[in-house]
Amino acid sequence: MAAYFCGHFSYMEFVLILILGGTIDGATYNPLPFSVAVMVLERLLIKCECNMEIVFATNNLHKLEEISALLGENFQLLGLKDLNISEEIPEDHATLEENASQKAWYIYNRTGKSCFADDTGLEVSALNGAPGVYSARYSRMGEITFPDMKPAEGNIRKLLMELEGVTEREARFRTVIALILNGVECQFEGIVKGEITLDSSGAEGFGYDPVFRPAGYHKTFAEMDLELKNQISHRAKAVQQLTEFLTGM
């Protein structure tokens, strides 16, 4: 079944549009045939029981605690460690949407449980959207640059080197979450715009946070306290859409 971007709709609004026809993110869907509509209803119109289990395809305890608090008591959020899944989950596609979907379907097919996965990339306008889906391994792409550095440090050094002398430094962080609920996939997107600084600054956060300054702020993500960053970040926006969708069931 196709993936649908559901970030602007509640759970029930999404179900009605999917069955009766309507527009989701600019794409128009015709009403479903009766037999298909019955199948979708069977899969989606399931009231959320107390402690409904849902799997987040991560072993990051901080992420699990944060999202568990947002979802509330109607959900029991499980991580990969809870299911004894230790193998590397494949993510070998060319877009964030495809990678998030691939990871989510891998876990769903492996466990049969409703689940979600995310993928994040930094997209720099002057580099035609790079590093994008390759953000985590940017310095390892092609000829390895800064092999003696940790990957995150090497990624930042490579990015700054490629932007040396460039004055237009607009960039954005983008997170895509793929949710598979009873065999139907929905996707949610969070974006924060900003710019790449000339030098690294700040000791908090991770990844490209020391060189990304969000629009409207004078600090990089790495200079911000975690509470503020979690209010405005790309991941926070995608997670908010996810939690609003799930808690609206």
Nearby residues of 200 by Cβ (< 8 Å), 6 or more positions away? 156, 160, 210, 211, 220, 222
Q: How far is CA 52 from the centre of its chain?
A: 22
Burial class of residue 47 (count of CB atoms within 10 Å of its CB; 0-12, 13-18, 19+): exposed
Q: Which of 25, 82, 119, 209 is catalytic?
A: 119
User: Which of 173, 155, 174, 151 is closest to 163 using CA atoms?
Assistant: 155
Cβ–Cβ < 8 Å for 118, 135 = no
Cβ–Cβ < 8 Å for 106, 134 = no
Residue 209 appears among annotated catalytic residues:
no
* Token pair belonging to 22: 């309507």
**Phi, psi dihedral angles at 188 (to 5 degrees):** -130, 140
* Token pair belonging to 246: 């799930």
106/117 Cα distance (integer angstroms): 10
3-state secondary structure of 238: helix
- Secondary structure of 91-105 in the HEC alphabet? CCCCCHHHHHHHHHH
Torsion of CA 146, 148, 149, 150, to 10 degrees: 120
Active site residues: 119
